[in-house]
Amino acid sequence: MDGPEAARSDDRPDLPAQRAAADPYLRVDDLRVRFDTPDGVVRAVDGVSFAVARGRTLGIVGESGSGKSVTSLAVLGLHDARRATITGEISVGGRQLVGLPDEEVRRLRGRDMAMIFQDPLSALHPYYTVGRQIAEAYRVHHPRAGKREARSRAVDMLGRVGIPQPARRFDQYPHEFSGGMRQRAMIAMALVNDPDLLIADEPTTALDVTVQAQILDLLADLQEEFHSAIILITHDLGVVAQVADEVLVMYGGRAVEHGSVEQVLRSPQHPYTWGLLSSVPSLHGDADTDLVPIPGSPPSLINLPAGCAFHPRCRYAGRNGDRSRTEVPVLAPAGRPGHLVACHLSAEDRDRLYREDVAQVGVAR
Amino acid sequence: MARFLVRRLLSAALTLFAVSVLSFLMFFALPRDPVSGMCPKNCNPERLERVRQELGLRDPLVSQYAGYMKGIVTGRDLGSAQGGRCDAPCLGWSYVSNEAVSDTIARVLPVTLSIVIPAAILWLLLGVGLGMVSALRRGTWLDRAAIGFSLTGASLQLYFVGAVLLIVFVYNLRLLPVPNYTSFFDDPLRWASGLVLAWVALAFLFSAIYARLSRAQMLETLSEDFVRTARAKGLAKPKVYGRHALRAAITPVVTIAGLDVGGALGGTVITETTFGLNGMGRTAVDAVRSGDLPTIMATVLIAAVFVVLANVVVDLLYAAIDPRVRLG
């Protein structure tokens, strides 16, 4: 799939070329989401672009507050229109969603695009049976389907996601399910209408590690079966390495690095990505030397640092004089086709620094 | 579910037993001699003693209590001075009004029921409706108007609202008759027109609390993850708000409603007095004023029964709303 950067001229270098050729199901272009709050304007997403084709998985990585969840909620049109201002383009299956009346977006929601949430216990309604909630998701978009049809469809889906005795489980409440089972039910609910786009927002964060792997496997299997485009939002690079085809690294509401999993995880170009890699514990090394946290904390989205938003936490910010503090770096090709990075360091510097400072440490090794 | 019901009913029975014992002991704890109320004039020691015998006040406490309880369940003979045979539910004899207490109650309880039940329906609909609307239209003029309305209701007194309503609708506009009680079964229209001002006044004051509570609950629920899930499924707003959000937001409202309705059924003194209606509340107050112990006892017991019953109903509603409660 890593085709050459074919017919694309460089007028929009922020869209990796390999996906443009694949006619992506979802295309997000220069998405901006801001919220007016009493404390000021929160620029939660500030000019992010990406695309996902059917059958492909995009991992969006970043700390809390990097804008990854806000991006996905914007795609589904779940932001309160009175509080969020959304500009840019979101095209799902050729339909432009930004500016579309809510009623029309609603009809796509759950049918063409569906979402799996982080904590299935709070994301499922505690007062309704699991089966009823799945059947309800089916009946919204199949108004002519009867109760029995919806039920058998829901039972079928529960079985497909690996829940034993699905017909009996249909009538149980979320609190009678284990954490992993709940997330499976959540997935069954998201897939009940066979959506072309599935957004999974930290689907394994609330689960213990053994269940995590099962859920990720299940998602991969179901993707093969349903051939849907998947966006996987996570802060866990291990999860990304396991299931994603491409990675978008976000920081302070902006994309800082974008490329295939190979490119971003094997030869990361942005100091923030280096920091993420260095803070993943490895099984082999010594935690004191191998586990290097990123200093400081995520920036305020109301007062984003000027220039490169990462500069206050970046070890290399001083190397270009004042540039990091004054000029916002744009996402630009970083050597190999499809690999983009937003950093003021020169390509040679990045290569050298990565080899010298990062590659020896922890999982990067 | 059956076990849940049985457990709740048993604990309700236990509560009622405790209340009945405590209120029965009130006869003996009060500084007033029960006999003095029953023999107001020309009392000589022999006569007092005779009354004591007749009332059974010389019997041991336990058998007096047993006699009273037996009277409620099966009826009992009270002796000629107290009207002779007293059928179940026998609540004793009132020397003040010179009739069986159960006759008094049978006359005044329907008045209170007729005031409270329609008023409760009105204040619940109005309060929860206003709360919902202002939560969903948060920050708009509708929200502000609803908050203003509920603040007004919460800070006014019933006798003021009642008086204003009376002046406007009865004495100035002459749209309604002077409040009075007619049995619903005799003439529903007169029943309603005689009580409607009491309903409106009560509903206005009570709905304030319900509007604020359900607004706060609704706002909290709307930020819950499962509401976002409902929207992510593509459900239309009425279903998201009605089926998913409201059901989760309503539980605290049910609790407060149970307490309020249960309490109000025991008597709404101020409402009854303001509108000149003779219900449980006024009867209780009059009984206290005249030292009419059997009537006091009866009103306290009945009020307790309503509160306990309301709590059982609240528990059942909880279990119906929240499946997790049924396990407990």
- The tens place of each residue's pLDDT in chain A, 365 residues long, gives 444 444 434 444 444 444 444 579 999 999 999 999 999 999 999 999 999 999 999 999 998 889 999 999 999 999 988 889 999 999 999 999 998 999 999 999 999 999 999 888 999 999 999 999 999 999 999 999 999 999 999 999 999 899 999 999 999 999 999 989 999 999 999 999 999 999 999 998 878 888 888 889 999 999 998 899 999 999 888 889 989 999 999 999 999 999 999 999 988 999 999 988 888 777 666 666 667 788 888 888 998 999 999 999 998 888 877 888 888 998 989 878 889 999 999 888 888 898 888 776 655 55
Calpha distance B94→A79 (Å, rounded) = 68
Tell me what pLDDT residue B41 has: 64
d(CA B81, CA A160): 81
Q: Tokens 């023999």 appear where?
A: B39
Name the strand (E) or helix (H) holding A128: none
Task: Taking residues B291-304, report their average pLDDT.
Answer: 90
Hey, are the CB atoms on A109 and B321 less than 8 Å from each other?
Answer: no
pLDDT digits (tens, 9 = 90+) for B151-193: 898 899 999 999 999 999 999 999 999 999 999 999 999 999 9
- Taking CA–CA distances from A137, the nearest residue in chain B reads B233
- Asked if B256 contacts B202 with a C-beta cutoff of 8 angstroms, the reply is no
What distance in Å separates the CA atoms of residue B255 and residue B235, rounded to the nearest whole number?
29
Residue numbers in A near B323 (CB within 8 A):
126-127, 173, 175
How does B141-163 read in b/e, with b if 16+ C-beta sit within 10 Å? Answer: eebeebbebbeebeebebeebbe
How far does A358 lie from chain B, in Å, by closest CA?
Answer: 39
Chain A residues contacting B via beta carbons under 8 Å: 76, 78, 82, 106-111, 114-115, 117, 119, 122-127, 136-137, 140-141, 173, 175, 189
Which residues from chain B sit within 8 angstroms of residue A141, using beta carbons? 234
pLDDT greater at residue B136 or residue A3: B136
Distance, in angstroms, between B226 CA and closest chain A CA?
A: 4
In whole angstroms, give the CA distance from residue A346 to residue B29. 93
| A41 beta partners | A36
* Residue-level pLDDT at B60: 84
Tokens 């996570």 locate to A234
For residues A249 and B207, give the distance between their C-alpha atoms in angstroms, rounded to a whole number.
52
Q: Pseudo-torsion of CA A137, A142, A145, A150, nearest 10°?
A: -20
Rounded CA-CA distance A190/A198 in Å is: 8
Task: Compute the CA torsion angle B63, B65, B67, B72 (nearest 10 deg).
Answer: -160
What span, in angstroms and rounded, lies between the C-alpha atoms of A204 and A213? Answer: 8
Residue A39: strand, helix, or coil: coil
Kindly tell me the burial class for residue B58, based on how many C-beta atoms sit within 10 Å of its own C-beta (0-12, 13-18, 19 or more): exposed
Task: Name the pLDDT band for B307 (thresholds 50, 70, 90).
Answer: very high
DSSP letters along A52-106, please? E-TT-EEEEE--TTSSHHHHHHHHTT-S-TTTEEEEEEEEETTEE-TT--HHHHH
pLDDT of residue B195: 96
Report the residue of B225, B233, B251, B318 to disrupt the A interface, i.e. the one with the largest count of A CBs within 10 Å: B233
Q: Residue A117: list chain B partners with CB under 8 A.
A: 225, 228-229, 232
d(CA B313, CA B12): 11
Contact A110 B244 (CB under 8 A): no
pLDDT of residue B50 exceeding 90: no
Please answer whether residues A250 and A6 qualify as being in contact, where contact means their C-beta atoms are separated by less than 8 angstroms. no
The reported pLDDT for the residue numbered A362 is: 56
Specify the pLDDT at position A12: 43
Round to whole Å and give the CA distance between A243 and A248: 14
Q: In what order do the strands lie in the sheet with A246-251?
A: A113-116, A197-201, A229-234, A57-61, A246-251, A254-260, A340-341, A332-333
The answer, yes or no, to whether residue B31 has pLDDT greater than 90, is no
Point out the residue among B229, B235, B247 whose CB comes nearest to the CB of A124. Answer: B229
Using a cut of 0.80, tell me whether the model's pTM lies above it.
yes
Q: What is the largest CA-CA distance in chain A?
A: 69
CA distances from A196 to A72, A106, A144 (A): 15, 15, 22
Q: Who among A106, A122, A123 is closest to B234 (CB)?
A: A106
Enumerate long-range contacts of B16-23, CB under 8 Å, 24 or more apart: B16/B304, B16/B305, B16/B308, B19/B300, B19/B301, B19/B304, B19/B308, B20/B65, B20/B69, B20/B301, B20/B304, B21/B65, B23/B297, B23/B300, B23/B301, B23/B304
Query: Do A91 and A27 touch, CB atoms closer than 8 A?
Result: yes
The torsion angles phi and psi of B165, rounded to 5 degrees, stand at -60, -45
CA nearest to A104 within chain B: B234
Report CB contact under 8 Å: A110, B233: yes
Per-residue pLDDT at A18: 44
CB contact under 8 A, A115 and B323: no
Q: Check B323 against A127: CB less than 8 A apart.
A: yes
Helices (H), chain A: 17-20, 68-75, 102-108, 120-123, 130-141, 147-160, 166-169, 179-191, 209-226, 237-243, 261-266, 271-278, 287-290, 323-326, 347-353
